[in-house]
Amino acid sequence: PWETYKADISIDVEKHHKPVKFMDKFAYWTVQALKIPTHMFFQRKHMCHAMLLETVAAVPGMVGGMLLHCQSPRRFEQSGGWIKALLEEAENERMHLMTFIELAKPQWYERAIVFAVQGVFFNAYFLTYLASPKVAHRITGYLEEEAVRSYTEFLKDLDNGSFENVPAPAIAIDYWRLPAESTLRDVVEVIRADEAHHR
């Protein structure tokens, strides 16, 4: 069993946080650098790209929530709702990944890539969050902006017939409370909205 979630697809998916301060620029260019090998490797292989994106996207909420959870009793302070919000975000990203695993049926080597990327990114993000939570959150914002762009490209390829618009898996229909006849396009649209909210 899993919790259900209602996506708000009315959000502006074009919004961009312009990097002005040095730390914003550092976060932005870090994400841009990470994007280059990913795009070279996956190109238009949307399912594999989505699995990698969601593997990485599931980390920030968990790391932030975990560190704030440890910090709260240590400092005898409330979190202001941040722990719950970050852990809910991590769960939402995990459901994105579970959905794409259901759709893509990854091979062993694709699962190995997911495992390796998550291990490297988790530790790098953990250290970044310890050094500067603000930079870590800004990196997450720019990662989510890239996810929104990636899913927009996915939707374009679904619309122009370059990618088959298969029926939505049961896990997605149940989680997002989608109509029974929903398709992959509907799933990608709600996932893109989720990413825009996380941004």
Q: What is the pLDDT of residue 4?
A: 66
For residue 40, what pLDDT band results from cuts at 50, 70 and 90? low
Average pLDDT, stretch 62-66?
91
Q: Please tell me what DSSP assigns to residue 106.
A: -
| Contact by Cβ (8 Å): 142, 27 | yes
Query: Which helix (H) or strand (E) is 6 found in, with range?
Result: none
102-149 tens-digit pLDDT:
888 878 887 887 788 888 989 999 999 999 999 999 999 998 998 898
Instruction: Establish whether 14 is an annotated binding residue.
Output: no
How far out from the chain centre does Cα 166 lie? 22
Query: Does the annotation list 96 as a binding residue?
Result: yes
181 is in an annotated binding site: no
* 54 annotated binding-site participant: yes
- pLDDT over 80 at 49, yes or no: no
- pLDDT at position 106 is 78
17 annotated among ligand-binding-site residues: no
Q: What span, in angstroms and rounded, lies between the C-alpha atoms of 162 and 191?
A: 20
Q: Which one-letter amino acid corresponds to residue 45?
A: K
Hey, what are 146's tokens? 């890239």
Residue of 99, 9, 105 whose CA lies nearest to 54: 99
Half-sphere exposure at residue 51, Cβ-oriented, CA atoms within 13 angstroms: 22
Residue 178 to residue 129: CA distance in whole angstroms: 35
Query: What domains lie within the chain, and their CATH numbers?
Result: 43-198 (1.20.1260.140)
